[in-house]
Structure 1
Amino acid sequence: MKTIYEIQQLLKNYGTIIYVGERIADLELMEAELNELWRSQLIEPKDYQMGLLLLRTEMQKLKDKKK
């Protein structure tokens, strides 16, 4: 995975579509869903790790912009 869009597509494959309307909230929910897939052993470790890295990096960028 290399983009947030790819994370959205992965979640969509498991029946999860996230759109709250606030980007940071969307990313936080995606992280929670990714954690749940990991705990359920439905995704590979590399997908989980890369997904977390992408989500947290994007969240940090957005938080830095607000400052």
Structure 2
Amino acid sequence: MKTAYDVQLFLKQFGCYVYFGDRQLELEFMMDELKEMYHSSLIDKEKWVLSMSILQNELTKIQRK
């Protein structure tokens, strides 16, 4: 995974489709979903850390605008 879109496709594998029309809201929702998936042991720590890092970087870019 390298982009937020890759994370979105990863979530899609679990039946989590994300499109709200507000990118910041989408990123925050994806972060919440990933946290729940990690705590439920659906994904391992490596995937969780990588995904959260990608989303946090994207969220930071949006907030700087």
**TM-score range with shorter-chain normalisation?**
over 0.9
In structure 2, what is the Cα distance between the partners aligned to 1:45 and 1:3? Answer: 18
1:34-66 per-residue CA deviation (whole Å, 9 max, x = no partner) reads: 01110110112111001111111100110001x
Give structure 1 stretches of 5+ with no counterpart. none
Q: How does 1:7-26 map to 2 (within 5 A)?
A: 7-26=7-26
**Distance between the aligned counterparts of 1:37 and 1:10, measured in 2?**
12
User: So what's the TM-score if we normalise by structure 1?
Assistant: 0.92
Secondary structure of residue in 2 paired with 1:46: helix
Paired with 1:60 and 1:4, the residues of 2 have a C-alpha distance of 12
TM-score, normalised via structure 2 length: 0.94
Q: What is the CA-CA distance between 1:9 and the residue it aligns to?
A: 1.1
Count, aligned residues: 65
1: CA distance, partners of 2:40 / 2:6: 20
Report the structure number with the largest CA radius of gyration: 1
